[in-house]
Amino acid sequence: MTEKILTTENVRLYYGDNEALHGINLDYDQYGITALIGPSGSGKSTYLRALNRMHDLQDNVTVNGNFMFKGRDIYAPDTDTVALRKEIGMVFQQPNPFPFSIYDNVAFGLRISGEKNKSVLDEKVETSLKQAAVWDEVKDDLHKSALSLSGGQQQRVSIARALATAPEILLLDEPTAALDPVSSHKVENTLMALRDQYTMIIVTHSMSQASRLSDRTAFFMSGDLIEVDSTKQMFLNPTEQKTQDYISGRFG
Amino acid sequence: MNAKNADKIATGVLYAIAGIVILILAALLGYILIQGVPHLSWHFLTAPASAFTAGGGIGIQLFNSLYLLLITMLLSFPIALGAGIYLNEYANPKSKITGMVRMTIEILSSLPSVVVGLFGFLLFVVQFNLGFSILSGAIALTFFNLPLLTRSIEDALATVPDLQREAGSALGLSRWETVGHIILPAALPSIVTGVVLSAGRVFGEAAALIYTAGQSAPALNFGDWNPFNISSPLNIMRPAETLAVHIWKINSEGIMPDAQEVSAGASAVLIIVVLIFNFSARYLSSYLYKRLTSTK
């Protein structure tokens, strides 16, 4: 058995007194893509956001359970969330570049952590944009505002921004939901190209996207993890009736 | 009556109302400008006022207005910025304290400016012994200006989408870093608009200043830039009648033979400066917005 990079055990999450996740157990090998699918309100995004402590920003959310990232407890009181989020990066549904130039967007995380050397920054910006497969489209306008780009380009710049801090895990919360099919396709290709270097966990509503992209699929419903298996197995021959129903479009 | 006709009538009525609003503004501006602009000259804009003879100017009052505005902004902007950041980024919207802060700000903004002025007179001028001075006036104007400036900064911050805050923390930024490095730059165009528009309001304010900055404009020596000399323009402890107060004063007790003309000219200058503030707010904001969103 290979070493797991991330394990989550008995994850329970409460909004106030309301339990939204009822004990999720999931772990992740290094590298590859895991897709989290399920109907709206099934808790898949909520679960994803627990992995890099994004819920810390909200006051009435309580997270219980055991989260181990490379043998360290993510929710230990002495965890440096700043450092943690550099190792577990995140890309959101809406492209959200900062209102600065493309270059400044990608260099942002590095600068915040104290990198000042121009040539290091230049190099990291270029590699990150290349990794995110948007370099060729923007290399001549690096000092143009990122907001002037198309939605698909903005999303790839957002991915580049997350990659620049060299995370080990990339969390993607419906990264193509706000994009047109052509842009979605490009973003998908980007993710495919990154699968051998990063551990990616992607929440998606698109069944076809999950089947195209992921190595492994987890099906969530009403705050429970119903089933997790290799994507091929899940889509061809699911064990659970609920999974079968959802995948064949009988509800959700 | 069918829906189509009702819609036509409603559209017509709304157009008429909008037209009336524009007409009132145009008439007002037109009247003041037509009355006042013929009296404007370089001499009028720069010469000191004269109390008994014709031919006085508004130079000192104009300078006082601008200087008082500057001091007011220096006092009120940092406080309003802090309050705005607190209310929008840090405060728990449901807590009692936030509710109280908000209510206080609303009450403060509905205080009549003459009351703010009298309060300033009793507290700063008399109690703290600051006398009729630019400082007293600036503090009174800060009270008057704070609620609106705070509100406009808060609104400017609120227009920055939460996505930006999430993106910040997903990169591992603390809340303060997110505010400083992302939210403030993104909100800058609207903050600038709010500051310039409030500057226009402050510039035209009279009632709060009558009893605080005073109604006299001692002669200034524009060669003396030592802020501790009484005749220095930079001295903040000197009494300083502003343009708006000057207009009020010559209309109520002016005895110079050309009081009418001076009043009309001063009013025109006041209106023109306020208009410049308004237009430059628009221009600045769209300029900054373009710098942020497109090729520089």
In this prediction, residue B19 carries a pLDDT of 96
Domain that holds residue A148: 4-248
| Chain B residues lying within 8 Å of A112, measured CB to CB | 171-173, 177, 181
Would you report the helix, strand and coil content of chain B in percent, each value rounded to 5? 75, 0, 25
Residue A67 C-alpha from the chain's centroid? 16
Contact predicate A102/B295, CB 8 Å? no
Query: What pLDDT does residue A2 have?
Result: 62
Q: 3-class DSSP state for residue B242?
A: coil
Distance of CA B174 to the CA centre of its chain: 34
B181 CB within 8 Å of a chain A CB: yes
DSSP calls for B131-145: -SSHHHHHHHHHHHH
| Closest chain A C-alpha to B172 CA, distance in angstroms | 4
Highest mean pLDDT among A155-159, B13-17, B108-112, B277-281: B13-17
pLDDT tens-place string over residues B129-166: 888 889 999 999 999 899 999 999 999 999 998 888 88
Residue with tokens 């895990």, as numbered in its chain: A169
Percent of chain A scoring above 70 in pLDDT: 98
Mean pLDDT value across residues A188-194: 89
Q: What's the rounded Cα separation, in Å, for the pair B101 and A26? A: 45
Quick one: pLDDT at residue A71? Answer: 86
Of residues B176 and A202, which shows the higher confidence score? A202
Q: Which positions in chain B touch A110 (Cβ < 8 Å)?
A: none
Find chain B residues with C-beta within 8 A of A58's C-beta. Answer: none
So what's the pLDDT on residue A183?
83
Residue A8 contacts residue A176 (beta carbons within 8 Å): no
The candidate with the shortest Cα–Cα distance to B143, out of B62, B86, B198, is B198
pLDDT, tens digit, 9 for 90 and up, residues A131-163:
888 898 998 989 888 888 888 899 999 999 998
Q: Rg of the Cα trace of chain A?
A: 18
State pLDDT tens for residues B20-66: 999 999 999 999 999 999 988 888 888 888 878 777 888 888 999 99
| Angstrom distance (rounded) from CA A210 to CA A214 | 6
Quick one: pLDDT band at residue A248, thresholds 50, 70, 90? confident
Partner-chain contact B163 A109, CB within 8 Å: no
Token pair 């939204």 in the structure block, residue: A20
Q: Which residues of chain A neighbour B296 with C-beta distances below 8 Å?
A: 143-145
* Strands across the sheet containing A4-15: A18-29, A4-15, A61-69, A72-73
Q: Is the pLDDT of residue B12 over 90?
A: yes
Distance CA A22, CA B117 (A): 61
For A27-56, what is the mean pLDDT? Answer: 91
Question: Worst-scoring range by mean pLDDT, A73-87, A198-212, B225-239?
Answer: B225-239
Report residue A126 as tokens. Answer: 């270029």
Of A59, A92, A108, the CB nearest to B163: A92
Residue among A109, A107, A139, A144 at smallest CA distance from A122: A107
* Average pLDDT rounded to a whole number, residues A66-82: 89
Rounded to two decimals, what is the model's pTM? 0.80
Name residue A219's beta-bridge partners.
Answer: A37, A227
d(CA B97, CA B87): 10
Q: Do residues B267 and B32 lie in contact, with contact meaning Cβ atoms separated by under 8 Å?
A: yes
Predicted confidence (pLDDT) per residue in B236-254, tens digit = 888 888 889 989 988 888 7
φ/ψ of A32, rounded to 5, equals 95, 170
Q: How far is CA B280 from CA A193, B199, B296, in A?
A: 49, 11, 20
- The pLDDT score that the predictor gives to residue B294 is 59
pLDDT digits (tens, 9 = 90+) for B175-219: 888 898 889 988 988 999 899 989 988 998 888 998 888 888 788
**Tally of domains within chain A:** 1
**Per-residue tokens: B262:** 């001076």
Of B167, B169, B293, the CB nearest to A148: B293
B58 by DSSP, 3-state: which? coil
Task: Report the CATH number that the domain containing residue A19 is assigned in CATH.
Answer: 3.40.50.300
Give the CA count within 13 Å in the CB-facing half-sphere of A192.
Answer: 11
Angle between helices B59-85 and B134-158 (to 10 degrees): 40
Q: Selecting from 2.40.30.110, 3.40.50.720, 3.40.1190.20, 1.10.3720.10, what CATH number does the domain B40-293 have?
A: 1.10.3720.10
Distance (Å) of CA B184 to CA B149, B177, B232? 15, 10, 37
Going from N- to C-terminal start, the domains of chain B cover: 40-293
Would the CB atoms of B293 and A54 count as touching at under 8 Å? no
Contact A82 B163 (CB under 8 A): no
pLDDT digits 0-9 by tens, B88-133: 988 888 888 888 988 998 898 888 989 999 999 999 888 898 888 8
Q: How many CB pairs under 8 A join A and B?
A: 82
- Quick check: A252 pLDDT over 70? no
Contact A146, A138 (CB under 8 A): no
